[in-house]
Structure 1
Amino acid sequence: MAAPLLLSDLYIYPVKSLGGIRVTEAEVTARGLRHDRRWLIVDHRNQFMTQRQHADMALLQVSPAYNGFLLSHRQRPELLPLYVPFEATPERTLFVTIWDDMVFAWRGSREADEWLSAALGRECRLVYMSDMVVRPVEPELNPADAVVSFADGYPFLLAGTEALAELNSRLPEPVPMNRFRPNLVFEGGTPWEEDSWHEFRVGELAFRAVRACGRCVMTTIDQQTAQKGAEPLRTLASYRTQGGKVMFGQNVTGPGQGTLRVGDAVQVLSRK
């Protein structure tokens, strides 16, 4: 008999494409977990930057701090940690591009821009998405009022520990869950059973699994060293390819408000 389903981990990623912070509870908002991917690094053209093109972003470590977080560089101790608040102020503004969207953003501090430019060796800026910004989720699969932060496309990403364990059983060297950057991690059940989920509940909150998440080269970047390899994408592609995309985890929309806690029961309400 399969073990009961439980929420085993919760992660927020304050800056898109940088490391996550594990939390024991998190507030749910319309855009996802509170403080998740509200900050974004952009280049001199105000185009979004990710590890897909800049693997060295993995070397920027994110640590919790009071009402914000600290950025530090794993290999450059001479760069003193930078404090960034969870929220910015509308003192300086600009438009930035993320994928096909152009959105209004608030600038972070000049100190943050200078620190990141030095850390990454190229001109860049740190920008924040305010609650006034409307960035819709893919409309063909979601209600018209569903919105998202600077995440790729959906408010939440769900992954199962059994799926990771099954994948690792096929790999020459196991990989940690941080290669896949989930917000919600559940344990129990069987490998890949989340593929069939449609509506499910975590604690008292209702969620909807919209579509499987197609994975990219970021999964091949060691988050400690920024070194790229072939795995786990090569092995995943051999048996988890659908419609030309390599799948791991589920893109999810949520209730818009509430609180999640590690240890909450997960209940599948309907399947696809």
Structure 2
Amino acid sequence: MLRLSALYRYPLKSGRGETLQHIGLDKLGLNGDRRWMLVDEASGRFLSQRAVARMSQLSALCNADGGLTLSATDIPAMDVPLPGVEAQLRGVTLWRDTFRVPDAGDAAAAWVSDFIGKPTRLVHLPLERARATAAGYGKDDDQVAFADGFPLLLIGQASLDDVSQRIGRPMEMLRFRPNLVVEGGEAFAEDSWKRVRIGDVEFRVVKPCSRCILTTLDPRTGARSEDREPLTTLKTYRERDGDILFGQNLVNEGAGHLEVGMPVTILE
């Protein structure tokens, strides 16, 4: 029997992930997932662990007031309020997308600039400013927040176990930054899924996830694997047309609620 074995949310793009037992869904995936992002102050280009490994040590959690609580070692925590309707809009660039979103203000900018070590801004994406998902996949009205291309990422626990066994040491699931983890199936069974249901919510499987250097960072310390694992091993048997594939991108069909332990049904 397939079941949902873990839930992860990343309120700040490329910040630390948080483990959840239950969570609601809106049209952009898990509530609060990747709704905040750091950008270079001068260019507006997004920052991530790919170039700033230190971001793996940045905790950014949704707080009870709807804003974000930032914390890191040796820096006092800061509560950032949700930008209001009068907030300044800032032009940002995320991969090929250029758009405008609310800036979180100068106090938040000073905190993240101190952490990153250069002038940086914190921005937020409200539902009404959502981006279209990556062209050529899914439906024309599919939308996403600050995730790279799609609202959700699913990985089978057996797939991670397979990679770890081949490498010869356990790999942390958070290296791959999934939202949903499913256990009970065979390794890479998710590659063949097209539609699944978890609880009362249906999901479309739209595209395999192409993996990058970020997976070689230890999610606890930010240190890079000297042997470039898990990419080195994945490349030997999970490379397709130059892309190393691990996990599946999903789009949820409407709102709903998820809880660890829910059964997972393959519809197609």
Per the TM superposition, whether the score is higher than 0.5 is yes
Partner of 1:146: 142
Q: Aligned equivalents of 2:130 and 2:160: distance in 1?
A: 34
- The percentage of counterpart residues that share the same residue type is 38
Structure 1: runs of 5+ lacking an equivalent? none
CA RMSD of superposed structures (Å): 1.4
Partner of 2:45: 47
2:157 to 158, 161, 164: 161
Q: Aligned equivalents of 1:206 and 1:100: distance in 2?
A: 29
List per-residue Cα deviations over 1:177-210 (Å, max 9, x = no partner).
Answer: 1000011111111111000000111111111111
1:78-227 → structure 2 map (5 Å cutoff): 79-85=75-81, 87-90=82-85, 91-227=87-223
Report the 3-state secondary structure (helix = DSSP H, G, I; strand = E; otherwise coil) of the residue aligned with 1:139.
coil
Q: Aligned equivalents of 1:109 and 1:82: distance in 2?
A: 13
Structure 2: runs of 5+ lacking an equivalent? none
Query: How far 1:211 moved relative to its partner?
Result: 1.4
Report the 3-state secondary structure (helix = DSSP H, G, I; strand = E; otherwise coil) of the residue aligned with 1:58.
helix
Report the 3-state secondary structure (helix = DSSP H, G, I; strand = E; otherwise coil) of the residue aligned with 1:28.
strand
Q: Aligned equivalents of 2:229 and 2:129: distance in 1?
A: 37
Query: How far 1:43 moved relative to its partner?
Result: 0.3
Q: Aligned equivalents of 1:175 and 1:62: distance in 2?
A: 23
The question of whether the paired residues in 1 share the 8 Å contact of 2:201 and 2:256 is answered with yes
1:69-84 → structure 2 map (5 Å cutoff): 69-74=68-73, 77=74, 79-84=75-80
Pair 1:63–1:257, CA change in 2 (3 A): closer
Q: Aligned equivalents of 1:63 and 1:231: distance in 2?
A: 28
Report the 3-state secondary structure (helix = DSSP H, G, I; strand = E; otherwise coil) of the residue aligned with 1:218.
helix
The question of whether the paired residues in 1 share the 8 Å contact of 2:11 and 2:61 is answered with no
Q: Aligned equivalents of 1:163 and 1:147: distance in 2?
A: 27
**Amino acid paired to 1:9:** A
**Amino acid paired to 1:73:** A
The question of whether the paired residues in 1 share the 8 Å contact of 2:57 and 2:72 is answered with yes
The question of whether the paired residues in 1 share the 8 Å contact of 2:209 and 2:246 is answered with yes
Partner of 1:24: 21
Query: How far 1:138 moved relative to its partner?
Result: 2.2
1:260 to 246, 258, 268: 258
Partner of 1:5: 2
The question of whether the paired residues in 2 share the 8 Å contact of 1:31 and 1:256 is answered with no
Q: Aligned equivalents of 1:157 and 1:239: distance in 2?
A: 20
List per-residue Cα deviations over 1:138-159 (Å, max 9, x = no partner).
Answer: 2322211111000000011001
The question of whether the paired residues in 2 share the 8 Å contact of 1:161 and 1:186 is answered with yes
TM-score (norm 2): 0.94
Q: Aligned equivalents of 1:169 and 1:269: distance in 2?
A: 30
Report the 3-state secondary structure (helix = DSSP H, G, I; strand = E; otherwise coil) of the residue aligned with 2:163.
helix
Relative to structure 2, which stretch is displaced further, 126-135 or 187-196?
126-135
1:237 to 229, 235, 238: 235
Q: Aligned equivalents of 2:70 and 2:234: distance in 1?
A: 32
Report the 3-state secondary structure (helix = DSSP H, G, I; strand = E; otherwise coil) of the residue aligned with 1:254.
strand
